[in-house]
Amino acid sequence: MRIVFFGSPDFAVPSLEALVAAGHEVVFAVSQPAKPVGRSAEVADPPLARRARELGIPVFQPQTLKDDVAVARLAEANADLFVVVAYGKILAQRVLDLPRLGCVNVHGSVLPRWRGASPVQAALLAGDAETGVSIMRMEAGMDTGGVFADLRTPIGADENAGGLSARLAEAGAALLVATLPRIASGEALAAPQADALATACPKIRREDGRADFTRPALELARRLRAFTPWPGLFAYRGGRRVKLLAARGTEGRRGATPGEVLAAGDEIVLACGEGALSVTTLQAEGRKPLGAGAFSRGERVVAGEVWS
């Protein structure tokens, strides 16, 4: 099958690799433009663009797909199918109409649950017991198209967004390759989604990682898993930012101020709106990660101080 592949982050890489391994002709890959990343702000290509070049696949990185030049480049590919995996931009209808067999998306949830930009994080934030991947026919609405195939998997008790995303990316790639021949033959039918059951998830922002200690401790523990590796869960001690790298919800003390340090030792226990957050690994800004005991001694953390 002659395919144009759209994708940007690590989540998209296994699907591209699987298509190549299955013998499909990937004409070129479309990815987001290079941008500054990390503390050094060094300009770098998205992971998908780097992997495509390693595989010898040409890469197209337009600023927009709305202009005639970009649409003409896509039309010239004369593709049977566009495959989209976490590309990061909405495709206009005139783009969706280009390939002979339409556009297929690999989505990191079992639709219609968690339509939107952050399905993996949303499942962890909500405390879902299971999630999965969907192979969906794309249409103009946000993740509203019919579903060709899906796969469900339990969420591990200690699994974070990084680990779960990697696992779903591999599962989605395998499901994609298994489904494409059935799409090409017309055997696979896209089942309409139950719109009444749909839930939505927004794009994650850096400030979403700030710990709000007025919230229940169990919720903060879920946020830590959902926002690892990015943006992480962080708080402020005085004016200094501290990343909370490993923590669990536990019992608190009635009447304590949210953010108050209840104990400082092998665990740093912080009061929450309900219960307390027991933190075992932390990282002060500009320092290396430390266990709570070493952090408490080095930073002179004492019971009664309040973090925000």
Collapsing DSSP states into helix, strand and coil, what is residue 74?
helix
Q: What is the pLDDT of residue 39?
A: 72
Q: What is the pLDDT of residue 75?
A: 97
Q: What is the pLDDT of residue 288?
A: 96
Q: What is the pLDDT of residue 38?
A: 75
Query: Letter for the amino acid at 293?
Result: G
Q: What is the pLDDT of residue 41?
A: 82
Q: Which two tokens stand for residue 98?
A: 């280009």
Query: Letter for the amino acid at 48?
Result: L
Whether the full predicted model's pTM is greater than 0.85, yes or no, is yes
Query: Letter for the amino acid at 104?
Result: V
| Block mean pLDDT (10 aa), the chain, length 308 | 97 98 98 88 94 98 94 97 95 96 98 97 98 96 96 96 98 98 95 97 96 98 97 95 97 95 97 98 95 96 97
Which of 119, 121, 305 minimizes the C-alpha distance to 213? 305
Q: Hey, how many other C-beta atoms are within 10 angstroms of the C-beta on 233?
A: 25
Place of tokens 């297929």: 104
CB 239 within 8 A of CB 215: no
The CA-based angle 33-39-40, given to 5 degrees, is 70
Collapsing DSSP states into helix, strand and coil, what is residue 167?
helix
